[in-house]
Amino acid sequence: MPVLAGALAAAAVLSVFGSVRPRGAPIAGSVAELGRTPSAPGRRASRRRARQVEGEVPQLLDLLAAGSTAGLSAELSLRRAAEALRGPLGEDLRGVGLLADLGARWRDELDAYATATGSVDLRRTMAVLQRTESLGASLADATRELAATVRQARRAATLERARTAPVKMLFPLVFLILPAFLLLTVVPVLLTTVRSIR
């Protein structure tokens, strides 16, 4: 009888943690799905999600700075920022918080998540979080400075893409648009001229 009761208790615990873990495991879920979906739609969805995560990093930094200015610790600032974010980054960070509630070290989970996403800005953000917590430095100043750096780098990248756009347009212009233009304009004139000469 005690064995049966123990087995039932273990099953209940596994069912509870089994239902909780997937909700809070985008670290192992969303990132692992990237490697398990070789199809083209899966790869496109993975890239789209990665771009969304990357786009939310400056907002995350602003929220961390606001939380630190309000007197919150690094972990609490991260939790409040995760609650405020509405995209995939917020979902993943809420998953990190849930894993920390279950006993995992939140810094280790952040390291694993930032490494799995492959986002350089996100890894720098997590490094700032850990450094300020371990050294007692100002999280608000560090995150504001990093947010300014990230935004400046992204503006520079956008300008660089804008400068290279004419070069990228040269190939379709020369090999696709120009032949079609010649075919529709010059060739009929030449044919008419040849027929008139005959």
pLDDT digits (tens, 9 = 90+) for 139-197: 788 888 888 888 888 788 788 888 887 877 877 777 778 788 878 888 788 888 888 87
Nearest partner of 28 among 130, 85, 109, judged by Cα: 109
d(CA 77, CA 64): 5
**Widest Cα–Cα separation across the chain:** 109
pLDDT of res. 38: 54
Mean pLDDT of the chain: 76
- Joined together, the tokens standing for residue 179 give 């032949």
pLDDT of res. 13: 40
Q: Name which of 2-6, 58-62, 161-165, 191-195 the model is least confident about.
A: 2-6
Higher pLDDT, 165 or 83: 83
pLDDT of res. 3: 41
The whole-angstrom distance between residue 11's C-alpha and the CA centroid of its chain comes to 36
pLDDT digits (tens, 9 = 90+) for 88-109: 988 999 998 898 888 888 888 8
d(CA 146, CA 154): 12
Mean pLDDT of 2-24: 43
Residues with Cβ < 8 Å from 131, sequence gap 6 or more?
137, 142
Percent of the chain with pLDDT over 70: 79
Query: Domain boundaries in the chain?
Result: 2-167
Nearest partner of 127 among 74, 76, 79, judged by Cα: 74
Q: Name which of 62-66, 85-89, 192-196 the model is least confident about.
A: 192-196
